[in-house]
Structure 1
Amino acid sequence: AEGYTRAKAGNIGVCIGTSGPAGTDMITGLYSAIADSIPILCITGQAPVSKLHKEDFQAVDIASIAKPVTKKATTVLEAAQVPGVFQEAFHLMRSGRPGPVLIDLPIDVQLTEIEFDPETYSPLPVYKPQATRAQAAKALQFLLESERPLIVAGGGIINADASDLLVEFAELVNVPVISTLMGWGTIPDDHELAAGMVGVQTAHRYGNATFLESDFVLGIGNRWANRHTGYNLDAYTKGRKFVHVDIEPTQLGKIFAPDFGIASDPKAAVELFNEIAKEVKAEGKLPDFSAWTASAQDRKATLQRRTHFDNIPLKPQRVYEEMNKAFGPETRYVTTIGLSQIAAAQFLHVYRPRNWINCGQAGPLGWTIPAAIGAATAEPETPIVALSGDYDFQFMIEELAVAA
């Protein structure tokens, strides 16, 4: 379901399971979805309402179990509430920070006939906070007053379908872009402003080097996750100012206090950034960051990791070098965790948003195959490469039967 959601803008994957163990087996998938801000709807069967507290066969309080890893988990006790519960579910999944919802349906509720008119049904309006003009202007002022600015593009940019706007903004102000692991593909790897990734494991030497030279960072739709910041926040933050834009207000200041924070849907914020940047450019007041941008390009050209090994058996680095030759820019990679994923982030190239589908925060083994199936279902015409280590592959190997 998560792979299906993430492969195509506007999708929401739906996962349906029976009562008891089917629901408890969904918990890791729900944790994965809420951790990475991905909307999926899980629907579980349940024992009859009258049996819920009598230790009936496969009667488990799945709503209580799922509550910490969903935006809402509900056991529907009255059949007449079913339309409203589903209406609320889609409202919640799409509003604010996206995430999963679980609806638990007792069998007698499922079998009850109710009056419902689909012709007059209307979804609840989606809520997303939006930056004000004054907030966007202040954020941009930080950038204009800096000498070596960077933009950090997080997964929220891709969730908001705002990658083209982000690239337009970066080109307007001529500022390098660092992608997080979840934001990879926001800007094509071969774009002159793509400055690599930062942090530990899934990072580039040139990305880290450029980041350490920066004096201002504009983070949009990112969490300052520890694989991006590294484990020494002082080294990450010292000597530079930060502006943080995120759709979730409680995310601002969670890891460290930015110099300025904006609670906003990334798309709405970047639209304002573009509008203001165009005005500043028309007035001839945009700073010239060309020397700084050129230095980032130079580091990108000279600090590449070696991949061309002739060893037999093949070294992993050479495998990924050959993958870059074999798979074109339209290829979508799906992966979760392990050395195969870490090496992929270091050596592969991604050129389009949603072409890197990675389980970022939870990193559960077994995620890759089913996520790849979901992505393939959403867009069958897109070539998909699933990158899986031996344990990840074996963990959910029964999903090969589902694929077949």
Structure 2
Amino acid sequence: MSIMKVHAAIARALSDNGVETLFGLIGDANLYMVDSFIRDCGGRFISSANEAGATLMGLGYTNVSGRLGVVSVTHGAAVTNTLTALVHGVKARVPMLLLCGDTPVEDRENFQNTGQRDHILATGAGFEQLRSPRTIAEDVATCFRRALTERRPIALNIPVEFQWDDTEYEARPYRAPHTRGLVPESEDLDNAIGIIAAARRPVVLAGRGAIDAEARAALIRLAERLEAPLATTLQAKDLFRGEPFDLGICGTLSQPVAVDTLIEADCIIGFGASINPYTLSRGAFQKGKRFVQVDSDPAQIGRYMTPDAGVVGDAALTADLFRNWLDEAEIPGAGARDQALADRLETASPWEGLRTPDASERIDMPRVVQRLEQAFPRDRVLVTDGGRFLTEPWKNLRVPDPRQFVITLAFGSIGLGMGHAIGAALARPNVPVLHVTGDGGFVLGGLAEFNTAVRHKLDIVTIICNDGAYGAEHIQFRNKNMDPALSMFEWPDFAKVADALGGQGFTVETFADLERALAAIETRDRPILIDLKLDPDAMPELP
């Protein structure tokens, strides 16, 4: 037990819970805690330009590292600035801890006073109040427990007047329980085994809830035993990369050979996958099939569609249990891994039909993405903002591991990419981050934080898909044969802006320009921005 100031005790509680990196923006309600976290605990503080950006950084850090992202902000407008990011975190089911300062309780007329609890709860995030200086260690541990088990952001509200009080501090870090002992034994399990045994053209599908190494290996074993191909949701992109019968993404982004196979399938066995309308290709993959859905979270089973059998269980253990039952019953393989499918997968190419461009040609999305895939380092983190440019990057930019792929569209908002990219860069400090955004998204949420990436010397390459318009609105005007001028903008020269902010910027109009920009990536020593000048009337269709 130690006697220390409250601000130092909060910093120590973070450190005792394994926090090494803290994101945020300092103000009078948190500056001493942040200083203690750096000076006394040896932590690293990543200062943002805006509290929204800091919150997104925390979410990006959780996404890529698997450890809890932690953010600290002061009170009032600092808290309300975090709200869009919190809603995204709730909808994306990403754990995070937000430490909020609060105005003094006795100062009713403080001009930064606002109902912080009401604001935060309205986003769907959880809220905890620091009860007293004596409960710091317990209250911080409670937030860690809630964030990790509820899979959403949790805010800890800290009154500013506590900061310089003395308190007794004793470490009480949260210890996560082992949860992999969840093995199903029920009528649902029996039904699932019966459905799987009867399938003649099954597909084993992995979602974000089945991307760890043990689950991957178990699903491969089950697919081999069933003689079935493998597929993933978009969120589990490239989990089975390199496997001989990997169909890739199942859904609206499926490649042609995957589309044919999935339409012909008679059973889909999903692990850790919500099986939403996009995964089902808006119903096209649902017809004529039976579905087995396995998830450790019972709330996810039947969330979007009612499966024929829903099994609550750990992905790896349940897959191995299915395999063992098939062996016990001597059920033969389905034979869906035939030579014809192997040949089609072997020869399939996402670039089929793309012509090699002349240097003077104007750029287009498919061929730009092809060159990015070829030129950017293979070990990468891919972070995508929102916009109508997404089809090609999602389909054809590969990642070595699904944790190195970050989608920022859970709330349907643009402008969330740069914050996530910074968090991702801190989570994987030796891996370059490829951040793909639109022009509107970059101005909305990326511009201010690009300098944050510069200040902290992060290895981020930002690709702006610049069609000079808000794409979804441009599409709607065009679909109604209306003038899209209201959706179009004359932006500043983003390359010059990047230079002014301390990075390195390139304007790309032709494929010769693109090659010069890609050459600079090989010798990069600061964040790079590549501004792709695209035709708003020649963009790919939305997925």
- 1:269-317 Cα distance to aligned partner (Å, 9 max, x none): 3223224415644875341424458537626745845433526112211
The CA distance in 1 between the partners of 2:214 and 2:320, in whole Å, is 15
The CA distance in 1 between the partners of 2:345 and 2:264, in whole Å, is 11
Cα shift at 1:90: 1.2
The CA distance in 2 between the partners of 1:162 and 1:22, in whole Å, is 40
Question: Could you say which residue in structure 2 is the equivalent of 1:174?
Answer: 227
Call closer, same or farther: CA 1:309–1:363 in 2, change over 3 Å.
farther
Question: Could you say which residue in structure 2 is the equivalent of 1:221?
Answer: 272
Is 1:67 paired with 2:116?
no
Question: Could you say which residue in structure 1 is the equivalent of 2:95?
Answer: 39
Greater shift after overlay, 141-150 or 205-214?
Answer: 205-214
Question: Could you say which residue in structure 2 is the equivalent of 1:207?
Answer: 258
The CA distance in 2 between the partners of 1:12 and 1:289, in whole Å, is 43
Cα shift at 1:4: 1.1
Is 1:261 paired with 2:315?
no
Call closer, same or farther: CA 1:258–1:275 in 2, change over 3 Å.
closer
The CA distance in 1 between the partners of 2:109 and 2:178, in whole Å, is 39
Amino acid at match of 2:246: A
Which of 179, 184, 194 does residue 141 from structure 1 map onto? 194
Q: Secondary structure at the match of 1:60?
A: coil
Question: Could you say which residue in structure 1 is the equivalent of 2:396?
Answer: 347
Q: Which has the higher strand share?
A: 2
Call closer, same or farther: CA 1:400–1:303 in 2, change over 3 Å.
closer
Contact 1:49/1:106 (<8 A) preserved: yes
Call closer, same or farther: CA 1:44–1:307 in 2, change over 3 Å.
farther
1:73-222 alignment runs, 5 A limit = 73-95=127-149, 98-118=151-171, 121=173, 123=175, 125=177, 130-134=182-186, 136=189, 138-158=191-211, 162-188=215-241, 190-200=242-252, 202-222=253-273
Question: Could you say which residue in structure 1 is the equivalent of 2:60?
Answer: 3
Q: Secondary structure at the match of 2:249?
A: coil
Cα shift at 1:157: 1.7
Call closer, same or farther: CA 1:293–1:362 in 2, change over 3 Å.
farther
Question: Could you say which residue in structure 1 is the equivalent of 2:419?
Answer: 370
Contact 1:376/1:382 (<8 A) preserved: yes
C-alpha RMSD over aligned residues: 2.8
Call closer, same or farther: CA 1:310–1:157 in 2, change over 3 Å.
same
Question: Could you say which residue in structure 2 is the equivalent of 1:49?
Answer: 105
Contact 1:71/1:92 (<8 A) preserved: no
Call closer, same or farther: CA 1:71–1:219 in 2, change over 3 Å.
farther
The CA distance in 1 between the partners of 2:440 and 2:337, in whole Å, is 46
Q: TM-score normalised to the size of structure 1? A: 0.86
Call closer, same or farther: CA 1:37–1:372 in 2, change over 3 Å.
same
Call closer, same or farther: CA 1:240–1:92 in 2, change over 3 Å.
same
The CA distance in 1 between the partners of 2:181 and 2:413, in whole Å, is 31
Question: Could you say which residue in structure 1 is the equivalent of 2:511?
Answer: none
Which of 342, 350, 355 does residue 308 from structure 1 map onto? 355
Q: Secondary structure at the match of 1:162?
A: helix
The CA distance in 1 between the partners of 2:273 and 2:62, in whole Å, is 19
Q: Extract unaligned runs of 5+ from structure 2.
A: 1-57, 455-543
Question: Could you say which residue in structure 2 is the equivalent of 1:399?
Answer: 449
Question: Could you say which residue in structure 1 is the equivalent of 2:71?
Answer: 15
Is 1:274 paired with 2:328?
no
Q: Secondary structure at the match of 2:182?
A: coil
Q: Secondary structure at the match of 1:254?
A: coil
The CA distance in 2 between the partners of 1:67 and 1:129, in whole Å, is 33
Call closer, same or farther: CA 1:380–1:121 in 2, change over 3 Å.
closer
Amino acid at match of 1:204: Q
Call closer, same or farther: CA 1:238–1:15 in 2, change over 3 Å.
same
The CA distance in 1 between the partners of 2:224 and 2:299, in whole Å, is 30
Cα shift at 1:220: 1.6
The CA distance in 2 between the partners of 1:198 and 1:371, in whole Å, is 25
The CA distance in 2 between the partners of 1:292 and 1:238, in whole Å, is 23
The CA distance in 1 between the partners of 2:109 and 2:240, in whole Å, is 53
Amino acid at match of 1:355: Q
The CA distance in 1 between the partners of 2:299 and 2:72, in whole Å, is 31
Q: Extract unaligned runs of 5+ from structure 1.
A: none
Call closer, same or farther: CA 1:8–1:171 in 2, change over 3 Å.
farther
Contact 2:96/2:152 (<8 A) preserved: yes
Q: Secondary structure at the match of 2:278?
A: helix
- 1:162-218 Cα distance to aligned partner (Å, 9 max, x none): 334433433343322221111113221x42222122333x44333332221111111
Cα shift at 1:12: 0.9
Cα shift at 1:349: 2.4
Q: Secondary structure at the match of 2:291?
A: strand
Is 1:250 paired with 2:315?
no
Amino acid at match of 2:159: P
Q: TM-score normalised to the size of structure 2? A: 0.66
- 1:7-29 Cα distance to aligned partner (Å, 9 max, x none): 223x1111111111221121221
Contact 2:183/2:317 (<8 A) preserved: no
Is 1:285 paired with 2:331?
yes
Q: Secondary structure at the match of 2:166?
A: coil
Cα shift at 1:63: 2.0
The CA distance in 1 between the partners of 2:343 and 2:137, in whole Å, is 54
Q: Secondary structure at the match of 1:59?
A: coil
Contact 2:235/2:402 (<8 A) preserved: no
Which of 401, 410, 417 does residue 361 from structure 1 map onto? 410
Contact 1:185/1:356 (<8 A) preserved: no
The CA distance in 2 between the partners of 1:373 and 1:394, in whole Å, is 16
Greater shift after overlay, 154-163 or 31-40?
Answer: 154-163
Amino acid at match of 2:65: K
Contact 2:292/2:309 (<8 A) preserved: yes
Amino acid at match of 2:127: A
Contact 2:219/2:316 (<8 A) preserved: yes
The CA distance in 2 between the partners of 1:144 and 1:174, in whole Å, is 12
The CA distance in 1 between the partners of 2:162 and 2:430, in whole Å, is 39
Call closer, same or farther: CA 1:286–1:293 in 2, change over 3 Å.
farther
